[in-house]
A and B are shown apart, each in its own frame.
Chain A
Amino acid sequence: MILARVIGTVWATRKDDKLQGLKLQIVRPVTLDYKDREGFLVAVDAVGAGVGEVVLVVQGSSARQTAATENKPVDATIMAIVDKLDVV
């Protein structure tokens, strides 16, 4: 999983039928001190994260392993909202 911040939302009317009803968020990877890293990706939101929140994003085939995304054409899913980081 990677640490990322939600920076936007995607609306798409025409999409694969299995994606109907899913919320798509734009997330940007961040470092351990919440500084932005390069790039961004579009992820399905399985936990109800809001814009600005720091979240965990699961990628690859594991992204389909939630009740919301099972057997759907998805390769990135937001699966946790980060409360606190404790870095040594």
Chain B
Amino acid sequence: MFLARVIGTIWATCKDESLVGATMQFIQPLDRFKKNSGEPLVAIDTIGAGPGEVVFYITAREASIPLRHALSPVDASIVGIVDTIENY
């Protein structure tokens, strides 16, 4: 799992039918000090994260698991909202 900040929302009417009703958010990957690292990507949001919030997300085929749909083309999915990060 990786850290990211939600930076935007996407509207797409024409999409795979397994994704109808799903929210798609733009996320900016972060390092453990909440600094930007890498290029933004699009992730499915099943937990209701808002813009500006720090979240953690999963990638690859596992990302379709939160959708509970047998066949959904998703390679990134937000699975939690971060409250705090403690670095040692």
Partner of B43, one of A1, A80, A84: A1
**Across-interface contacts of B61 in A (CB, < 8 A):** 60-62, 65
Q: By the criterion of a CB under 8 Å from any partner CB, how many residues of chain B are at the interface? A: 31
- Do B12 and A56 touch across chains, with their CB atoms under 8 A apart? yes
- Do B26 and A67 touch across chains, with their CB atoms under 8 A apart? no
CB distance from A63 to the nearest CB of B (A): 7
A17 within 8 A of B: no
Q: By the criterion of a CB under 8 Å from any partner CB, how many residues of chain A are at the interface? A: 32
- Do A56 and B10 touch across chains, with their CB atoms under 8 A apart? yes
- Do A83 and B60 touch across chains, with their CB atoms under 8 A apart? no
Q: What's the Cα separation between A86 and B57 when bound, in Å?
A: 20
> Given that A56-B24, A60-B60, A87-B7 are known contacts, is A82 also in contact with B76, CB under 8 Å in the complex?
no
- Do B26 and A85 touch across chains, with their CB atoms under 8 A apart? yes
**Across-interface contacts of B39 in A (CB, < 8 A):** 2, 37
Partner of A70, one of B19, B71, B75: B71
List A residues 18-73 near B (Cβ within 8 Å).
31-32, 37, 46-48, 56, 58-63, 65-67, 69-70
Q: 1/0 per residue B41-71: CB within 8 Å of A?
A: 1110000000110000000110110000001
- Do B14 and A85 touch across chains, with their CB atoms under 8 A apart? no
**Across-interface contacts of B18 in A (CB, < 8 A):** 65-66
B73 within 8 A of A: yes
